[in-house]
Amino acid sequence: MVEDTCTDDDSTKLQQISEHLAELADDGHVQIDNEYQSFYEWMRERGKSHVKEDRLKDSTASNYISRLDQLHRCAISLLDIENEVTIGPDQADELLLLLAKDTITKQNGEPYDSKRKLSDALKKYFEWRYHTNDLEFEWRPRIKFSDGNHTSAAEFTYEEVGRILEVAQSHGKLPSYYETSSEERDRINGLVAQRLSKPKETVNREDWRKADQSAKIWSLVSVGYDAGLTPIEVSRARVSWYKPEQQILEIPTEAASKEREKEIMSLSDESDEAMSYWIRERRHLEKYDGSNRLWLSREGNPYQSGSLCRLVRKLCDEAEVPYEDRPVRWYSLRHSIGRHMKSDGSLSQTNDQLRHDTYETTETTYGSSAAEERRETLNKSRAKAERAAKDPNYRPYSDVDIRTEFGEAKETAPEDAITSTDDGFHVNAHVKDTIENRAQITRQLLSDDEPSPSS
């Protein structure tokens, strides 16, 4: 296999192609090795943006090479190609078709979790060939794959997210110091000692109070959900990313997963409150002395994907959210906010919050609607149909929901806005604020005719 890293981050020397590819290519392996080296050097010099001459990180460039190596081996083994040194556009289309049909699989025979990553490697390869005048056109894949993480991580419903965030806020709360037995108190003293990074024998009642008010998990999960943070971004997170005066999280491109160029994510009021508590709290924790990392594990290490997955499942246990029959991971939070923002907001908002490069990525990943959302729409349609059948004057396309500060409400016809009661006139309606509607209601108020009686 191709090495994922080189000797140092500034190096443009690529490790040689895989032994398997060299064997398949036979006499052409030297030429392939030279071509891959040129491709690698181009990525390290301007692979991120050809126009701006922005380079890709060494690890990113190496991953592209590794995936291209895999596809190159498949091309030689499965396709009838004349030139084994390069992959042509037609062969690339055939490879993606085989990938879509799961003819190309992992060594254990299982389908690839993220076929998009292999497709992206081909796109970057042909981008290089086009910009170095080796091709007259820039190849575009005919088959598009969604993000593999989306298909391999379950999404949470609104209710499940609410319950998870609720238990995250109170995660690890301790029982009353005075209501515990000596045996239980001794055990909890050990837990308090771990949380505060102090010797167990020095723990006192005041330490219980301090340990019972930690906002670390609350802030981590709340912000992780709002900002759709990936595990690597949680690991790299710095205090300076949080901008309380703007209520945002700002991730520098060089620290972001996939080096995403969009850097700003909005935070909800709840996340802002959690962060405010956490920033004040972490100043008093010894493990953060001399460190600007935003979150550290109990052992004082940056969080990793495995520890974050275990945390989410632990919160699911506390919130009674089932996960035995579905792949619940840390990424489930990111995919849930993507789905919910798409449902409650707009494609543009979702794209910006998740920092996708293109709207196509957002639409492909979150464009489909949730079953619950479609069910509500069906119920609204059925209700309109029933009302239209009973009332010949009902106009289903003009009976639009009105949003108020208290939620959604059905629009009231202006002529039905005023009713009479024993005490006089009563107005209780939701109407659009137009000059015509105002005039009609005013005429009714000034009219000598008594409004319709209240039911």
**Alpha helix locations (H) across 139-268?**
148-152, 158-169, 182-196, 205-211, 216-227, 231-236
Q: Which domains does the chain have, with CATH numbers?
A: 19-145 (no CATH), 158-172+214-366 (1.10.443.10), 400-446 (no CATH)
- Split at pLDDT 50, 70, 90, the class of 309 is very high
Q: What is the mean pLDDT of residues 110-138?
A: 87
Confidence at residue 423, expressed as pLDDT on a 0 to 100 scale? 64
* Of residues 184 and 291, more confidently modeled: 291
Confidence at residue 3, expressed as pLDDT on a 0 to 100 scale? 33
Amino acid 423 reads D
Cβ neighbours of residue 12 under 8 Å, at least 6 residues apart?
Answer: 40, 41, 44, 45
Confidence at residue 6, expressed as pLDDT on a 0 to 100 scale? 31
How far is the C-alpha of 34 from the C-alpha of 14, rounded, in Å?
A: 10
How far is the C-alpha of 340 from the C-alpha of 90, rounded, in Å?
A: 39
| Stated pTM of the model | 0.55
Map 39-82 to HEC letters: HHHHHHHHCCECCCCECCCHHHHHHHHHHHHHHHHHHHHHCCCC
CA 434, distance to chain mean position in Å, is 40
Give the tens place of pLDDT for each residue, 68-86: 999 999 999 998 777 888 9
Give the tens place of pLDDT for each residue, 155-204: 899 999 999 999 999 886 777 888 888 888 888 888 888 878 889 999 99
Residue 150 scores a pLDDT above 50 = no
